[in-house]
Amino acid sequence: MGYFKQASAAVGLALWLVSSAQAGEAVLVKAYHPDGEGRVLAYDDAGKRIGKIPVGTLPKPEFEAAGYDARSRRVKVHAADGDVWLLAIQVETSVRVHDKTDCDLIKNMSLKQAGKSSSDGAPRIVRGLGDGGCR
Amino acid sequence: MMRRGYARAAASCLLLALLAGCKTTENLVKEISGEQTYEGFSGRFIEVAPSRLMKDGGESPMIAAAEALGGRLAGADMTYGLGGKVRRAEGEGGVRVEGGEPLEDYMVRILGTLLEPWREERPDLQVRLTPDLDFRAETDKDGVITVSLGVFLQCESEDELAFILAHEASHALLRHHESNRYNEAQKRLTDITANTLAVVLSKRDSKNADSRTLNLNAWGMVEAYQVMQTTIFDPAWNREQEDEADLLAVDLITAAGYNNSVYQIVLERLHLADERRAAEQEAERKEVEKRITAVMESGHVVEGFGMALNQMFKAPTAIVGHVVAEAGSDHPSAEGRENNLTGYVVREIDTLGDSAALPLRVDAYEKQILHGKGGKLLAKHVYVQRAGVLIEEGDLAAARKLLLGLLNGPKDTNAVVRYKLYQLYEKEGSPDKAMANLELAAKDRRAPVKVFTALIEAHGRNGDWQRALAGLDAMDARFGRRRGNLPLRLEFLLQDGRLKEAQQVMTECRASQNRDTVAGCNAAWSQHTKPSMRKASL
């Protein structure tokens, strides 16, 4: 019985982690911030400016974005003439920043340094103290 | 009779014109119409900013007149934080973190790039890293920008850090300290004149019914003006300054090649930090109340009262190191600031848009905060923070292991680690070990105020008044003599029976002319000189 409970808890935890990760990936477009003429700037996949397009040619919020580039915070949407990338300042999304806890910071430091060699100047302190009891 | 009527009417008109005039009307109109700061100009802010600068800040006749009438203006002493203006506690200048030079150099390099497009006079800016783990950055009147370790830990790209630095530098570039002083001078002169006019009006024939009505109207106008000053004009003034710093920051980071959309992230982080701070303060307040109530309910009413009194005495020192009195509810909201910036960036999308498509500089940032000396420093603070959480959770063994692992031997005086060990041993019920760590922490030349406060309190609890006084002396020597400490010093001297020195401190208290300090000293004095105490001391 004890084993069953433990196994159930482990499966539950795994499912919760998966669903959390999935929930974290979905980016919703909530509103547009167009210019005075009702248009937003659009970019192609290579990051080149296409020009301004009317928000009328874009899906009506709220909807799931076709993509999200965390490195530039741009949002991909299906426009009438094909997919375009929009700027974070002209698209309000569901992406929110999170207050990092001490464990988030330790995990981040450990993960980022895991692949580095000891000669990269990474602080030894992280390797020496491990996860600080964060599990 | 007719001439008196004209005079009253003229005085009333003058009062009305005075109260409604100057910059206040402009602010009132803005506040009522809901006009955003960016709507007050066209084009890029960096191009119009020079025309908005205070030209004669220190030399203005208005400032000279206001200072002649009411003493030194404190307007320039305000510190500009990320969230708005803050008034720092006496003597509090932000302790510089030991070993923070690599991160300070990094910020200086970023600032150098940011300031390049600014064609006006550049103030002499300095950067200081503080050990605070809160999300905080500030600029003082001397152009010192303090950035907390918490900023480095929460931010995820150089672009975010650049926006924060640009915002803080903008307060200095836009000479906000000077314009703040000018604004205060204007307010003071209006207040003095309005009050004088109201007094003149109220002295006229108070037996006459019409005059009495006029008296009421005059004072009513002054009162209404003062209410509007605190609820509308001051917040509008503060908001405008924050908006201006935000607008210039966006222009500066755009010119420096950063992704300017990061203002959204920074303002969101600021909002989260505000929420967390408010929750922590509320929890702390409840905890103190609970402790006092528990003592009172256990029948020790006098002791409970003493605790409450002590809390009152402690307040000035206990909260040093933190913001004492933020500008309060007149802080511009992060949401309002974001609306202003988004409105501006969208209006100027042709020139500002491409910046928001640039990749964030994450790698360059991580190189600084995860590797080398800067990384080591941040990692140490993160682990200390983690140890704090473990202590709170009651996992003292894990916390001890972590903290001892951070020390370089038994003689290491690192104040951050030693202070945390002090808290750990206090919780564990090992007062000797706790005290030993606290004393080592106080030896660290970068020890923050809280180390001394804890040391003084611990000696005070043990009734070791001489060591408590020695702690106060050490604190004054390190941070400068503070009037906020005078009630505590008086209390210790009286407890130690050093009446002559106590009298000197009492004189110093009165000379400070600070209401809280004088009240604290009076309370300490009266408590120790009540009949029973006098009898006991005899």
Which residue in A has a C-alpha nearest to residue B361's C-alpha? A71
Q: What percent of chain B is predicted at pLDDT more than 90? A: 36
User: Does some domain include residue A41?
Assistant: yes
**CB distance B379–A123 less than 8 Å?**
yes
The pLDDT score that the predictor gives to residue B344 is 96
The residues, any chain, with a CB within 8 Å of residue B27's CB and separated by 6 or more, are B232, B233, B236, B237, B240
- DSSP letter at B229 equals I
User: Does some domain include residue A21?
Assistant: no
Local confidence band at B20 (pLDDT 50, 70, 90 cut-offs)? low
Listed residue (A55, A52, A71, A51) closest to A63, CA to CA: A55
Chain B nearest C-alpha distance from A106 (Å): 7
- Average pLDDT of chain A to the nearest whole number: 77
Together in a domain, A52 and A71: yes
Of B260, B382, B385, the CB nearest to A109: B382
**CB distance A89–B346 less than 8 Å?**
yes
More confident residue, B133 or A76: A76
The pLDDT score that the predictor gives to residue B91 is 41
User: Does some domain include residue A104?
Assistant: yes
**CB distance A87–B265 less than 8 Å?**
no
Together in a domain, A70 and A40: yes
Together in a domain, A76 and A125: no
Listed residue (A72, A80, A76) closest to A54, CA to CA: A80
> If you compute the radius of gyration of chain A from its CA atoms, what whole number of angstroms results?
21
The pLDDT score that the predictor gives to residue B86 is 59
Which of B121-135, B321-335, B409-423 shows the lowest mean pLDDT across its residues?
Answer: B321-335
pLDDT at B353 over 90: yes
Total-model pTM? 0.74
Which 3 state secondary structure label does DSSP give A112? helix
| Cα distance between residue B126 and residue B351, in whole Å | 31
Best-predicted range by mean pLDDT (B47-56, B105-114, B268-277, B522-531): B105-114
More confident residue, B398 or A122: B398
Average pLDDT over residues B203-213: 60
Chain A nearest C-alpha distance from B357 (Å): 6
User: Does some domain include residue A1?
Assistant: no
**CB distance B386–A73 less than 8 Å?**
no
Listed residue (A28, A22, A32, A31) closest to A94, CA to CA: A28
Together in a domain, A59 and A77: yes
| Cα distance between residue B461 and residue B479, in whole Å | 23
Residues of B in Cβ contact (< 8 Å) with A109: 370, 375, 378-379, 382
Chain A nearest C-alpha distance from B445 (Å): 23
Local confidence band at A104 (pLDDT 50, 70, 90 cut-offs)? confident
pLDDT digits (tens, 9 = 90+) for B338-351: 999 999 999 999 99
Of B358, B378, B405, the CB nearest to A72: B358
pLDDT at B269 over 50: yes
User: What's at B177, amino acid-wise?
Assistant: H
- Average pLDDT of chain B to the nearest whole number: 80
Cβ pair B360, A73 in contact under 8 A? yes
Best-predicted range by mean pLDDT (B29-33, B191-195, B510-514): B510-514
Listed residue (B385, B396, B390) closest to B419, CA to CA: B385
The residues, any chain, with a CB within 8 Å of residue A124's CB and separated by 6 or more, are A118, B376
User: Does some domain include residue A105?
Assistant: yes
pLDDT at B11 over 60: yes
pLDDT at B207 over 80: no
More confident residue, B389 or B33: B389
Average pLDDT over residues B27-31: 60
More confident residue, A81 or B193: A81
User: Does some domain include residue A69?
Assistant: yes
pLDDT at A12 over 50: no
pLDDT at A101 over 90: no
Together in a domain, A40 and A68: yes
Question: The domain that contains A41 carries what CATH number?
Answer: 2.30.30
Average pLDDT over residues A38-61: 94
The pLDDT score that the predictor gives to residue B275 is 85
Of A35, A113, A133, the CB nearest to B370: A113
User: Best of B384, B386, B416 to disrupt the A interface by mutation (most A CBs within 10 Å)?
Assistant: B386
Best-predicted range by mean pLDDT (B80-94, B195-209, B356-370): B356-370
Local confidence band at A23 (pLDDT 50, 70, 90 cut-offs)? very low
Residues of A in Cβ contact (< 8 Å) with B102: none
Complex confidence, ipTM: 0.78
User: Does some domain include residue A112?
Assistant: yes
More confident residue, B324 or A69: A69
| Cα distance between residue B25 and residue B37, in whole Å | 15
How many domains does chain A contain in total?
2
pLDDT at B534 over 50: no
The whole domain housing A104 covers: 99-135
The pLDDT score that the predictor gives to residue B438 is 94
Together in a domain, A127 and A82: no
Which of A61-65, A98-102, B359-363 shows the lowest mean pLDDT across its residues?
Answer: A98-102
pLDDT at B502 over 80: yes
- DSSP letter at A59 equals P
Chain B nearest C-alpha distance from A110 (Å): 9
Together in a domain, A68 and A125: no
User: Best of A89, A95, A103, A125 to disrupt the B interface by mutation (most B CBs within 10 Å)?
Assistant: A89
pLDDT at B318 over 60: no
The CA–CA distances, whole Å, from A65 to A57, B97, B251 equal 15, 43, 29
**CB distance A49–B376 less than 8 Å?**
no
The pLDDT score that the predictor gives to residue B282 is 78
pLDDT at B481 over 50: yes
Together in a domain, A47 and A106: no
Residue identified by tokens 């408010």 is B278
Chain A nearest C-alpha distance from B467 (Å): 36
Residues of A with CB under 8 A from a CB of B: 33-36, 41, 43, 47, 49, 71-74, 85, 87-90, 96-103, 105-106, 109, 112-113, 116, 120-126, 128-129, 132-134
**CB distance A102–B389 less than 8 Å?**
yes
pLDDT at A7 over 80: no
More confident residue, A124 or B467: B467
Of B359, B389, B402, the CB nearest to A71: B359
pLDDT at B92 over 50: no
Together in a domain, A48 and A80: yes
Together in a domain, A129 and A80: no
pLDDT at A133 over 80: no
Q: Which two tokens stand for residue B404?
A: 């001892």
User: Does some domain include residue A106?
Assistant: yes
Which residue in B has a C-alpha nearest to residue A103's C-alpha? B386
The pLDDT score that the predictor gives to residue A100 is 86
Average pLDDT over residues B89-97: 58
Together in a domain, A33 and A88: yes
- CB count in 10 Å sphere of residue B453: 21
Best-predicted range by mean pLDDT (B48-57, B86-95, B163-172, B331-340): B163-172
Which residue in B has a C-alpha nearest to residue A36's C-alpha? B347
Cβ pair B366, B378 in contact under 8 A? no
Together in a domain, A35 and A89: yes
Residues of A in Cβ contact (< 8 Å) with B383: 106, 125, 129, 132
Q: What percent of chain A is predicted at pLDDT more than 70? A: 67
Which 3 state secondary structure label does DSSP give B538? coil
| Cα distance between residue A79 and residue B245, in whole Å | 36
Long-range contacts, stretch B20-25, CB < 8 angstroms, 24+ apart:
B21/B190, B22/B186, B22/B190, B23/B183, B23/B186, B23/B233, B23/B237, B24/B190, B24/B228, B24/B229, B24/B233
The pLDDT score that the predictor gives to residue B425 is 96
Local confidence band at A17 (pLDDT 50, 70, 90 cut-offs)? very low
